[in-house]
Amino acid sequence: MTSAKRRFVVVDSCGWIEAIKGSSAAALFQEALADPEQVIVPAIVLYEVTKHVLREAGETEAMKVASAMQACVVVPVDASLALSAMKHKLALADSLIYATALEHGAILLTQDAHFAGLPSVQYQPKPKTRSL
């Protein structure tokens, strides 16, 4: 029995953080992260996520997260990627993340609204928080 090859995914930094926290919004991201061989991690996402975990939980936890992320396909920033990223009307990190997804034919999974409506993006709005 053969299985269909899944398409690569790029999980935005917000998705990694939601998955790590196990929040109510984590399900989409946890499902995608279940198969590390299909997950592309832009180097900037590795930095953003581990920096967040370092700040919130300390170096030991940050290194655990870094190890898990490095089990995926980590893509460094090179000249070609930088030149591709400059064409997108997004902030620096977001341009690099989006360009990485496009260059690898991957779907970008995110909760960041500025990606909504772009090709190859699966946008899931952040859950509304109730105000008192």
Structural domains present in the chain: 9-123 (3.40.50.1010)
* Separation of alpha carbons 112 and 99, rounded Å: 15
pLDDT digits (tens, 9 = 90+) for 56-73: 999 999 999 999 999 999
- 12-26, 33-47, 99-113 — which is least confidently predicted? 12-26
Q: Does the pLDDT value for residue 104 go beyond 50?
A: yes
- pLDDT tens across 3-18, in order? 455 689 999 999 999 9
Using DSSP's 3-state secondary structure scheme, residue 75 falls into: strand
Mean pLDDT of all residues in 43-60: 98
Prediction pTM value = 0.90
**What is the pLDDT averaged over residues 23-48?**
94
Note every long-range contact of 30-38, with CB atoms under 8 Å and residues 24 or more positions apart, other chains counting: 32/109, 33/72, 35/6, 36/68, 36/71, 36/72, 37/72, 37/73, 38/6, 38/7, 38/8, 38/9
